[in-house]
Structure formats: C-alpha cells, structure tokens
Amino acid sequence: MVGAAIVNDLGQVLAAQRAEPPALAGGWEFPGGKVDPGESDEVAIVRECREELGVEVELVDRLGPDLPLQRDRGVLRVWIARLAAGEPTALEHAELRWLGADQLDDVAWLPADAPLIDELRARLGSWGR
Ligand SMILES: Nc1nc2c([nH]c(=O)n2[C@H]2C[C@H](O)[C@@H](COP(=O)(O)OP(=O)(O)OP(=O)(O)O)O2)c(=O)[nH]1
C-alpha cells in the first residue's frame, strides 16, 4: 500500500477521512491504495490521487519507514507530495481537511499512520524554509 502526504504552499497537509469499510470508516489517512501488479509506488500514488481526489501530484520525498498494516495487509509506504494541478475533491472519502503543523492531532489517524505524525509535524514546521 502507498499513501500521499500532500503538502500545499502554506505548509498544510491533506488529511482524508475514510468512508469505508466499516472497520476503518471515520479514521483519517493519507490518500492512496494498493500498488497494481507491475506498477511502481510512484505511479500508483499518482494514479490513486487522480482517482480519489481528482488532482495531479508530484512526489517530493519519502516520509518515515515502511509501516506494518494490521491483519497481514503488508506495509504502507507514505510519500510527501505537492499538488501539480487541481483542487482536491472527496471523490471517495467522507471528508478532506488541510491541517497545519499544529493541527495534526485534531484528527484520529488510522493506527498504522500514527508513527509518522511527529516526523510530519517537523517537516511541515520547516516547510518552504
Ligand atoms: N491509503 C491509505 N491506506 C491506509 C493508510 N493507513 C492505513 O492503515 N491504511 C490501510 C487501510 C486499508 O487497509 C489499506 C488501504 O486500502 P484502500 O481501500 O485504500 O486500498 P485498496 O487497494 O483496497 O483500494 P483501491 O483504492 O486501490 O481501489 O491500507 C493511509 O494512510 N492511507
């Protein structure tokens, strides 16, 4: 699995609230999903952001280590990305929010994502500097 921590010019990151399945609904995540066979992580992230948000993104850097997912669902690899075109729309999510460095604890991240949040806060704090 791959996810995109999309950061805007204000140094805010896009958090997306899952609409499904019931076990995950209401939790917040980085938009993304499964890497298709033969696809690179980079291509998968760009495709998922197009499908889920209707935007084009450019990858900047990896964020954190590979994170183990619950119930043997493999690992999650998150990349920092920036918007290349479009405004994110919740095509598959319940809600989207732009969060500044001091707002990252305002949403309930999915458990797998929790170890990334401190590093993300530090990255956002120095964004653009
Ligand atoms: N995209 C994403 N998935 C996450 C995050 N954190 C986390 O635990 N997950 C888990 C939840 C799901 O079990 C799995 C992603 O499932 P998904 O529904 O987005 O992907 P999928 O491949 O099944 O569906 P698709 O979007 O490719 O069609 O990874 C995160 O930050 N982003």
Read off the pLDDT band of 70 (50, 70, 90): confident
Percent of the chain with pLDDT over 70: 100
Instruction: Choose among 41, 46, 103: nearest CA to 76.
Output: 41
Decide: 109 in ligand 1 pocket, CB within 6 A: no
Burial class (CB in 10 A: 0-12, 13-18, 19+), 7: buried
The tally of domains found in the chain comes to 1
In angstroms, what is the span from residue 85 Cα to ligand 1's centroid?
23
Does residue 129 lie within any of the structural domains? no
- Residue 39 inside a domain? The answer is yes
Give yes or no for residue 129 having a pLDDT over 80.
no
- Predicted TM-score (pTM) of this structure: 0.95
107 in a structural domain: yes
Q: 21: domain CATH number? A: 3.90.79.10
- Interval between CA 129 and ligand 1 midpoint (Å): 32
Residue 33 belongs to a domain = yes
In the predicted model, what is the mean pLDDT of residues 27-53? 97
CA distance 68 to 71: 9
Domain hosting residue 17, numbered range: 2-124
| Position 37 in a domain | yes
Distance 124 CA to ligand 1 centre (A): 23
